[in-house]
Amino acid sequence: MRLLFFLLICQCAINSINAYSASSPSVILLMADDLGIGDLGCYGNRTLRTRNIDRLAEEGVTLTQHIAASPLCTPSRAAFLTGRYPIRSGMAAFSRVGVFLFSASSGGLPSEEITFSKLLKERGYATALIGKWHLGMNCERSNDFCHHPLSHGFDYFYGLTVTNLRDCKPGQGSVFLKGVQKSSVIPLQITGITLVSLALVHYIGLLRVPFRALGYCFLIATISLVVLIFFFYHFRHLNCFLMRDHQIIQQPLSYENLTQRLTKEAVQFVERNTDAQFLLVLSYLHVHTALYASKNFRGKSKHGLYGDAVEEMDWSVGQILDVLDKYNLSDKTLVYFTSDQGAHVEEISSSGEVHGGYNGIYKGGKSTNWEGGIRVPGLLRWPGVIQAGAYLDEPTSNMDIFPTIVKLAEAQLPSDRIIDGHDLMPLLQGKVAQSNHEFLFHYCNAYLNAVRWHPGNTLPVQHLKYALRSSLSRGIYPA
């Protein structure tokens, strides 16, 4: 009888330990920028060396139908942090440009939006964002920081509030110049024709035009041109800077050993919190252009500077995994790796080198809702809880991370709003066989562009792409 009682106590203790280990883990979320699903060895690449990222696949679950909520940085990251389609939070633009380009922009992720970092912080987690933010900084003043990461649940921030742009790296061209050239041609032509016409009619006597008016027109055109030149000349200093919390610590941004600095900050954050639960979002600048790689990786890959950048990012992932092993945190930490959208396949450097990635067999790339623009890597590792070496061939979304880690942290999901993501743990642990996503909607900025349908009683996933206007005019809804 005593032996039976002892065994019951032991079993209760074991159950208690297992229950604890399967909840409230620390969380590390690794997000690449513009990485193609075909750039990784675990997704079929045989020439780029990504052994550390591949290790996540070997020791965890590989999501084969992992979908970004948007093919552009800003809306995709907003959806990732909130678990909601970006159009719900106002982070989907109606204009052609669907991302933030300037640090002085007044827009950003609304303060009323609830991020997973806010909810985990309330549960006592130490939280940090290292790397790219791209969801705004200020509202009405240059120092109110209403959209800053520290206003959205992060205790610590080290990185860029906007994004990595060609204009930030000398010699890499400009993302604005062609657009400015195209948009300024017609206004310059109109201005020139107007001035010449006024001068001509004044000369032949058809209309008396005060020379002062002509002078003012010429002066306005000249000032506008000077302002434009001044902006481009000083763009790096105005828009490309590195911050720690609310302080600018490097202006303009230097790319020298930048990934190593980001990695060092991430490792140090983990080391500061070995005895506490933490949330670390390491948001790489790789492989968004302007491409860069440190001396140890430059010229070492088989795919030029793009390949060098991928392999340096893989090294960084290895450093994160190593520090978890060093402090015996691997079994207590959920690690997730993804990209914010597919590779930008049309990227060509100013010297003519291809700077875009590889989306495997999938058509299209970044900024399109073809499969190559939204199907992204999805790797999750949690030893002892998630089966190692498994593949999950069900539709999942980067929005699913929100409810997954919020529930694991034993926080309450918001009840006052729609959460579009679904908890991944039942799928990852094999408790259910089918994803809760019967439909996944894909927007081009604020306009519905495609719908993914996974019928509950069939196996295939259908990706239907329509021009919304023609679909609705015929009474056809993408389903």
Query: In this structure, are strands 333-339 and 378-381 parallel, antiparallel, or unpaired?
Result: antiparallel
Render 206-230 in DSSP notation, one character per residue. Answer: SS---HHHHHHHHHHHHHHHHHHHH
Enumerate residues 6+ apart whose C-beta is below 8 A from 122. 411
* DSSP 8-class letter at 108: B
Residue 321 · residue 54 · CB < 8 Å: no
Distance set, CA 298 to CA 257, 314, 318 (Å): 11, 14, 18
Using CA atoms in the order 167, 173, 174, 179, what is the torsion angle rounded to 10 degrees?
A: 180
Place of tokens 């041109």: 225
Residues in a beta bridge with 243: 159, 248
- Give, in degrees to the nearest 5, the angle at Cα 390 between 385 and 396: 90
Residues 266-277: b if buried by 16+ CB within 10 A, e if exposed: bbebbeebeeeb
Q: How many CA atoms lie within 13 A of 239 on its CB side?
A: 23
Residue 40 · residue 50 · CB < 8 Å: yes
Return the active site residues: 73, 134
